[in-house]
Structure 1
Amino acid sequence: MKTLCKMILAFFLIFSLLPVQNSSAHSCTAYGETYGYWIDCSNHQAGKYFSYNTASGMSSLYQTFVTGGVGKWNSTGVVSISRSSSYSINGYVHTYTDSNTSIVAAFYNYVSNGSGHLTQWSIKMNTAIMDGRTGAKNQETMAHEMGHAIGLNDLYLSGNQGVLMYGYSDRTATSPTSKDQTGAAKAVGN
């Protein structure tokens, strides 16, 4: 009996020391406003490659806003975001119209697994506001919203006005800055 207990103990000890294979979790530190990037450790991508689909019937103009915003991130090399025609993809981008709000676009309806990796997310674009803005400004907004899909939070300190993830519309960055890129790289585990 004593030998059996020792064998069982040895068995559990050996297997508890073995490394776990194919683990996709990576460590996450939020950092924060003073760093110029703030990572949402509970809601971020599992890696640099992820996809989205757009609502059927979305106008080509609005698809241009989305692809323009995505292109700003893809050009950094930190992430690789692609459009898919599959509705099984966890990212969904669509338009809506609400003239009773000042919300231009929003990242919402997001769900993450136990590792904090996003398994579902949506971005909605308010045509009531975006129709009255330039295409360049709308692409900037979509780059900002894709920053949330990567795993970056809004920043509100005035010292971050020059960062894409600044949460107010008077941001001066039109593309991901070095701070945005550093935050994104850390969010996806690069």
Structure 2
Amino acid sequence: KVDYKFYPIVNLKDWVKNTQQKAAVIHEALDEFECDLVWLDADAVILKKLELFDKLANDNDFHLYIHRAYHLPLKIDNDGLLSFIRRNISNFLKRRKHPKGEVISNSIYIKNCAKTKELVSKWVALNEHKIEWDQRNLQEIIDAGDSDYVVKQLPKEYARILPKGNQLETLNDGNNYIGQKQASRSYRKTIHNF
């Protein structure tokens, strides 16, 4: 059994501003509950028992478990250099910008303690002043040179993103725990009309 609570949010008519509400909801939940928390985006699907989260409840040596995507190494294949550049320029730029890996905030295990509350308060404040995707603002805080937050790697099986055009069954191969549909991205350009 998984205890859960849904938090309603207001459509701010802007996809980035809507994503930034995540930090405020987590902040509210940290104050509302005394236990550790798990954040899952609204379109997440739990595919099997979240065994890791049971183990983390007894671990006090971290503030967040979050997934970081390490973009695949570049490789030239038989299609030639131009084709290679077209396919890999995005990954190349992401790797240069995020050498520690790009923070993916669709699934987060959150230790409920004073230091985590401080981190989330900084995240909320940065979102109020910097119009940037929520996970990029979070990354800025945890990757800051003076950051003493302990952030550990959540296995990719707890943050699997459904490939475009595929059905959820492609993730349900027995290895994955949480699947993410990224439904909001389908409406990213039209969200201001709702």
* TM-score, with length taken from structure 2: 0.25
* TM-score, with length taken from structure 1: 0.25
Specify which structure has the higher proportion of strand.
1
Greater Rg over alpha carbons, structure: 1
Specify which structure has the higher proportion of helix.
2
